[in-house]
Amino acid sequence: MFTGIVEGLAEVKSIGQAKRGADIAIRVRLGKMAKGLKVGDSVCINGACLTVTKLQKDEAQFEMVAETVRRTSLGKIKLGDKVNIERSMKVSDRLEGHFVLGHVDGTATIVKKVEKPSETTMWFKLDNKTLANALVAKGSIAVDGISLTVVDVNSDKFSVSLIPHTLQLTSLGIKKKGDKVNIETDVLSKYISNMLPK
């Protein structure tokens, strides 16, 4: 379980074929975020919950199966890319974002980025437009693992407003038009939209 409050950015140091079962193995330099981690722990990387399979100093290895590669943008990750990191929450932690499971529903493409001194508005087009059924203005959404508030929903598009702090701390500050992001809709909206008549 995560909150969508990103702890920082980490650099992808290697990408290769996994030695067992999984499809891809990536190694990420976590720096101080590696403190206290152990093999088997869950870490949210760009919104996807992955398991630590190997640790060496401040670097952790994660393995991805075909479903993760297919459903998320992590299959297109490159050496040197910066990814959002959040370690799993403790029961005693404050819940400052919203409940994020790390179960990515699909991807979206950045179609517009309007930058102002006090805020940046980003518009995303959902690659699977049925995900819009679980979106509501002023509701919660996780974009690359970042807990954000939906501003507007328009058919297969939605927007969010970002403060400078979010842009500085997360990968959205370096993303540009045309880039892909991982989307996890709010778990409550997901269940409600699933119960409604189709």
CATH number of residue 76's parent domain:
2.40.30.20
Asked whether residue 180 is assigned to any structural domain, the reply reads: yes
Q: Are residues 111 and 188 in the same domain?
A: yes
Q: For residue 31, give every residue at least 6 positions away whose Cβ sits within 8 Å of its Cβ, in sequence order, or none.
A: 8, 10, 58
Q: Which of 86, 20, 85 is nearest to 54 (CA)?
A: 20
Q: How many whole angstroms separate alpha carbon 23 and alpha carbon 115?
A: 38
Q: Which two tokens stand for residue 136?
A: 């509501």
In the chain the first and final C-alpha atoms are separated, in Å, by: 29
At 198 the pLDDT is: 66
Asked whether residue 129 is assigned to any structural domain, the reply reads: yes
Q: Which of 170, 176, 124 is nearest to 150 (CA)?
A: 124
At 80 the pLDDT is: 97
Q: Are residues 44 and 83 in the same domain?
A: yes
Asked whether residue 99 is assigned to any structural domain, the reply reads: no
Q: Which of 101, 112, 123 is nearest to 48 (CA)?
A: 101
Q: Are residues 191 and 134 in the same domain?
A: yes
Q: How many C-beta atoms surround the C-beta of residue 18 within 10 A?
A: 16
Asked whether residue 115 is assigned to any structural domain, the reply reads: yes
Residue segments in the chain with a per-residue pLDDT below the cut of 70:
198
At 34 the pLDDT is: 95
Q: Are residues 130 and 182 in the same domain?
A: yes
Could you tell me the residue range of the domain that residue 53 belongs to? 8-87
Return the sign of the alpha-carbon dihedral for residues 47, 49, 53, 55: positive
Q: Are residues 115 and 81 in the same domain?
A: no
Q: How many domains does the chain have?
A: 2
Q: How many C-beta atoms surround the C-beta of residue 3 within 10 A?
A: 20
